Structures are given as C-alpha cells and as structure tokens.
Amino acid sequence: MESLLAASSVGTAFFPPCPSPSAALRSAVPGSSNAVAARGVRCAAAKDSMFYELTHDEIFNSAEVIQWESGKSMNAIAAAQGIRIRRRCQPRYPSEGTGADRAIPRNILEQIIWDKEVEVSQRKAKKPLQKVMESAQHTPPPRDFVGALDTAHRRNGVPALIAEVKKASPSRGVLRDHFNPVEIAHTYETNGAACLSILTDEKHFQGSFENMETVRNSGVKCPLLCKEFVIDVWQIYYARSKGADAILLIAAVLPDLDIKYMLRICRNLGMTALIEVQDDREFDRVLKIDGVQLIGINNRNLETFQVDTTNTKMLLEKRRDIIKNKGESGLFTPEDIIYVHNTGVSAVLVGESLLTQDDPGQAIAGLFGKKLLH
C-alpha cells in the first residue's frame, strides 16, 4: 500500500492538500499517467501529523479510479452516486456538456454551491491554504461535540439540542431583524442547548465566519458547528481557525471520495463531521463510509424546500441499528420533538422555530415542553 506521505519525496518539504480528491482528479488528464501523477502530487500530505496521511487505497478505491480513468467527469462520477447537485467547473471534455443546461442552476442548493465555488476561490486567493492551515494550528483545541450531545441527551432524557444561530434562509427570508449572534448564543446556552450551529454563508443566509469567531471568543462554552456548504478542504481549515469544533458535510453535494477525505482531515484536526443526508440513497452511501460519527437527517428537501418530519422516521425505520442520528429542520412543537425522539434520534438541530421568537433561548422550554438543564 502506497502512502501519499511517501509521495512528498518529489522534493518540496510541504504539499498543501488538494481541495478535494475529485477536484484533484478533475485537474488531471483522464486515462493518462497524469491522472496518477495528480494523485501523487496534488494530494501529497504535509509531514506535520496535524494534517493527514492518506493511503491510495483509502482515497482512491479501484472503482473510482477506473471511473476516472475511463474519462468520466467529476459531475458524471457524482451523478453515478445519485448526486444531483452539479459543479459549475469549466467543461474540459465533451462528456461534461456545454450550453444552456450548464448555465442555469437547477435548484437553490445548486445555486448555493455554484456561488460557493466563486466565493471559495476568491477567499483562497486572499488567504492561501497553507496560511489557513497555520492559523488552524494555532487555534485552541476543539471541544467535544459528540460528547456534549451525549451528556445532554442523558441528562434531560430528550434529544440534545443543537440550536442554530442564523439570520435568514432562502426558504424563509429574514428570520430576525434584530440579530445579535452573541446574545442569541448566550441565551441558547443558558437555556440548555448542548451545542450551537452557526451559519457562515453570507450570500444566502446572511451569516459569516466573523459571527463564528465572535461567538467563540464571547465566553460561550458549547461546542460550535460551522454550518457551511463545504466543497473544498480550505473551508474546513478556515472554520477551525475561526474556532469551529464541528463542520457540516452534505451528502447531496459531496461524492464519497470527498467525504472520506474530508472526514480524515476533520479527524486529524480533532473536529467532528456532521454528515447530512436526506434520502435513502444518501443514507446508504454514508453508512458505507468508515469513521462516520454523526449523521443528520434533514427533513427539508434542499432542492424543493419541502419539510416533512416523517422523513426521519422513514429513513430510520429501515436502519434500526444505526450509530448516532440527529433530526434536522422543521421542528416546531413538543410533539415534533417526541415524534423524532421516538424514531431513535439522540439530537435535534433547530433554527427557525426558536429564532422567530422574542427570546430564542426562552423559546427552548416551549419547544421541548420543559426546561432543559445544562
């Protein structure tokens, strides 16, 4: 088994990680030895153990390499896994398609991802990956996200709460005119939230990484989830450098290869990855990936915005023996909480129903039908 660390023997002492394995593969010429070279060089690991050391077998299983080397584009590989969200990468090969079908996003999630591609490349131009990795290295160590959820679940006998700090969303528009992330974070914590989820996307949610950093530095003790649309490992290191303890990875957006790679980076940074699924196919894909600690079942279809709390039940009924699950979106009443708890979830992620009340923290007792201890 050849380790990518060994590939750093090409001469330079330090190789930043590739944005994602599928992006590295995309930059190579399929079917040629360049594809192999790209694997070796673009994904070579930094020697520092804080980063990562992946083997070829871990990242590039033979089926994936064969797919790539047969000339399939990244979007085609993703589509073969049932991923409907396309990247807006410039077409390089006829199989990637051209023309009108590529110019218009098919739904809001695809629009967010296309905007994210532009945003991340601009951010990277301002602060390259190597600098972000250094900043991440100097950030105080992450807090135990899963541990905080477990403790709260045991203490209260109801699903642990990940309370969301978000000003707006594409489906609901502005949720709060007066939006003070630090105030909201503190009232959530005081009223029993186990962890907080901080929206960092600016364009569609009016969030920011500054919010993440300010909340982290404000004395809040809860572990923080960076609620971001991750397409590039740069965002994971950046989130860590701003104090995130956990990060969201969306199965509807990321091919398996990228999830595996990003999971390993999270593990080496000491962060928790919350992997979000919305349907059977995504759930099955994620269950086959080693090292997944936390799965979130979104009740909101991110393509249509439709919310259906029976989604959690439907997906869990078939998979009774699953590790850790979290129900997300569209939870408004104590009955909703009892309903998802009975399906087997040990945590819930809630935004809108708390944020639209005068005091989002005090609204927690109303949502759970009792005061949560913390």
Ligand X SMILES: O=C(O)c1ccccc1NCC(=O)[C@H](O)[C@H](O)COP(=O)(O)O
The interface with ligand X within residues 126-165 (CB under 6 A) comprises: 164
The Cα–Cα gap between 5 and 48 comes to 10
What b/e readout covers 35-71, taking b as 16+ CB neighbours within 10 angstroms? beebbbbbbbbbeeeebbbbebebbbeeebbebbeee
Nearer to ligand X by Cβ, of 136 and 331: the residue is: 331
Q: With binding defined as CB under 6 A, does residue 325 bind ligand X?
A: no
| Catalytic annotation, pick one of 169, 191, 298, 325 | 298
Query: Which residues are registered as beta bridge partners of 103?
Result: none
Q: For this structure, is 370 an active site residue? A: no
Q: For this structure, is 166 an active site residue? A: yes
Residue in 16, 181, 351, 361 binding ligand X, rule: CB under 6 A: 351
| Helix runs in 157-309, H state only | 181-190, 209-216, 233-241, 256-269, 280-287
The interface with ligand X within residues 71-110 (CB under 6 A) comprises: 108-109
Nearer to ligand X by Cβ, of 302 and 364: the residue is: 302
Query: Which residues are registered as beta bridge partners of 225?
Result: 197, 246
Q: With binding defined as CB under 6 A, does residue 253 bind ligand X?
A: no
Sign of CA dihedral 82, 285, 194, 247: negative
HSE-CB for 83 with a 13 A CA cutoff: 26
Nearer to ligand X by Cβ, of 67 and 346: the residue is: 346
Nearer to ligand X by Cβ, of 46 and 337: the residue is: 337
| Catalytic annotation, pick one of 213, 276, 282, 352 | 276
Q: For this structure, is 298 an active site residue? A: yes
Residue in 82, 97, 170, 344 binding ligand X, rule: CB under 6 A: 170
Please report where in the chains the tokens 């969306």 appear, as a residue.
250
Q: With binding defined as CB under 6 A, does residue 192 bind ligand X?
A: no
| Residue 323 DSSP label | S
Residue in 350, 363, 364, 367 binding ligand X, rule: CB under 6 A: 350
| Catalytic annotation, pick one of 227, 313, 324, 326 | 227
Structural contact between residues 352 and 317, judged by C-beta atoms closer than 8 angstroms: no
Nearer to ligand X by Cβ, of 189 and 352: the residue is: 352
Closest contact distance (angstroms) between CB of 257 and ligand X is 23
Sketch the per residue contact string, 266 through 305, with ligand X: x for CB under 6 A, - otherwise.
--------------------------------x-x-x--x
Q: With binding defined as CB under 6 A, does residue 330 bind ligand X?
A: yes
Task: Report which residue type is found at 328.
Answer: E
Listing DSSP states for 245-269 in one string gives SEEEEETTTS-HHHHHHHHHHHHHH
Distances (CA, A) of 183 to 105, 187, 201, 214: 36, 6, 19, 11
Q: For this structure, is 183 an active site residue? A: no
Structural contact between residues 351 and 372, judged by C-beta atoms closer than 8 angstroms: no
Q: For this structure, is 329 an active site residue? A: yes
Q: For this structure, is 64 an active site residue? A: no
Stretch that binds ligand X, among 84-92, 179-187, 279-287, 327-335 (CB under 6 A): 327-335
CB-based contacts of 321: which residues, under 8 Å, 6+ apart? none
Question: Would strands 168-169 and 173-174 be described as parallel, antiparallel, or unpaired?
Answer: antiparallel
Nearer to ligand X by Cβ, of 36 and 179: the residue is: 179
Closest contact distance (angstroms) between CB of 103 and ligand X is 21
In the bound state, the residue with its beta carbon closest to ligand X is: 351
Structural contact between residues 5 and 44, judged by C-beta atoms closer than 8 angstroms: yes
Closest contact distance (angstroms) between CB of 159 and ligand X is 13
Q: For this structure, is 317 an active site residue? A: no
List, by residue number, the catalytic residues: 164, 166, 227, 276, 298, 328-329
Which positions lie near ligand X, rule CB under 6 A? 108-109, 164, 166, 169-171, 298, 300, 302, 305, 328-331, 349-353
